[in-house]
Amino acid sequence: MPSKQALIQRSNNSCELCTSTDNLVVYPVPPTSDLSAQQSIYICQTCQSQIDGESEPDLNHWRCLNDSMWNQEPAVQVMSYRMLHKLSSESWAQDALDMIYMEDDVKTWAEQGIAAEQREGPTRDSNGAELQDGDDVTLIKDLKVKGANFTAKQGTLVRGITLTDNPEHIEGKVNGTRIVLVAAYLKKA
């Protein structure tokens, strides 16, 4: 569990997104928070319920992101970016997204969370087993690889797959070439 005291001190006992001082909670930043203070933020329950989708986003409330997106803490930058992305149909949010600056690793973290939210459902292999990033899979039939002029043979092991935004596809390396594969033609190894 993150050091609540460290988050209180870092945030001056106010929401790190909207600066409210009411009903504050520790929020681990998904998708892969290690529950440390560096990967958590201190926010009000209003922000939390809207981030988690428990209540509809209040557009006026989220104008606070124009300030929080410049916070020095990567976890705060990540949540600001994700909320601006959710609200990008609003011109002010799109303008803020166009201005925001983040280090490459912080932006990657922010986009991982967006990709995880956008996935329609779990990616499943031919047997219905749920696939995760980093799993190893085996091809259950020969697949002709378009544009690479080779056929991936049945039984080929694909190590360390990566999930895509489409739950029907995964990415993996076959014969030294990174390709997109249809999950229905794979079996979890």
Pairing mode, strands 137-139 and 186-188? antiparallel
Delimit the CATH 2.30.30.40 region(s) of the chain.
123-188
Query: Could you tell me the pTM of the whole model?
Result: 0.61
Q: What is the mean pLDDT of the chain?
A: 88
Q: Using CA atoms, how far apart are residues 27 and 2, in angstroms rounded to an integer?
A: 9
Q: What are 50-73's pLDDT values in tens digits?
A: 988 888 889 899 999 999 999 999
Say which CATH topology domain 123-188 has.
SH3 type barrels. (2.30.30)
Question: Region 104-128: what's the mean pLDDT?
Answer: 80
Contact assessment for residue 106 and residue 78, using Cβ atoms and an 8 Å cutoff:
yes
Q: Using CA atoms, how far apart are residues 116 and 162, in angstroms rounded to an integer?
A: 12
Q: Using CA atoms, how far apart are residues 171 and 179, in angstroms rounded to an integer?
A: 6
Q: What are 132-147's pLDDT values in tens digits?
A: 889 999 999 988 887 7
Pairing mode, strands 137-139 and 130-131? unpaired
What pLDDT score does 148 carry?
78
In 36-166, where do the E strands start and end?
Answer: 40-44, 123-124, 130-131, 137-139, 143-145, 150-152, 157-158, 162-163
Residue 160 CB coordination number (10 Å): 12
What pLDDT score does 123 carry?
85
What pLDDT score does 2 carry?
52
pLDDT at residue 120 above 70?
Answer: no
**% of residues, the chain, pLDDT over 90:** 48
pLDDT at residue 115 above 80?
Answer: no
Q: Using CA atoms, how far apart are residues 86 and 184, in angstroms rounded to an integer?
A: 31
Measure Cα distances from 143 to 24, 53, 106, 126, 155 in Å.
53, 40, 37, 15, 11
pLDDT at residue 170 above 70?
Answer: yes
